[in-house]
Amino acid sequence: EDRADKAADEVESEGTGRLARGASHRDEDALTLLKYAKIDDAKIKELTLKLEKLTEERSRKKKHLEIEVTNTLTTQIELDKTAEAFRQAHDERMEVLEQWEQIISQMQRRDEEMEKGADLLRELKGRSR
């Protein structure tokens, strides 16, 4: 009987040891999972903050870009208006120059006509003497 009890005690002891080792492994596994979960949570929090910062930066840059586009369009419109005003002033100047040339040409013709008239008058005076 003592041997049977001893054998039963040994079997029971082995079973308890196995259970204890199994529980110990489960506890270690649970701690390991908890450790990884904490690491994952920290990484998620870090990435979330980084995403928020990048989103804010993107919004600032987008707003800045919109302002620059508006300024560029405004400047382009002003430049177009200035170019049109310059073209108009140039056209007007060319018109004035053309009118001057016509006036000078008319004055030259009148001078020539006056010169012919003066020559004719001298010739007539010369004949009448």
Distances (CA, A) of 97 to 47, 94, 104: 72, 5, 10
Count of alpha carbons within 13 Å of 37, Cβ hemisphere only?
A: 6
Lowest-confidence range among 14-23, 30-39, 115-124? 14-23
Calpha distance 2→112 (Å, rounded): 159
The residue ranking higher by pLDDT, 129 or 104, is 104
Amino acid at 85: A
Chain position carrying tokens 């004055």: 107
pTM of the predicted model as reported, rounded to 2 decimal places? 0.50
Average pLDDT of every residue of the chain: 89
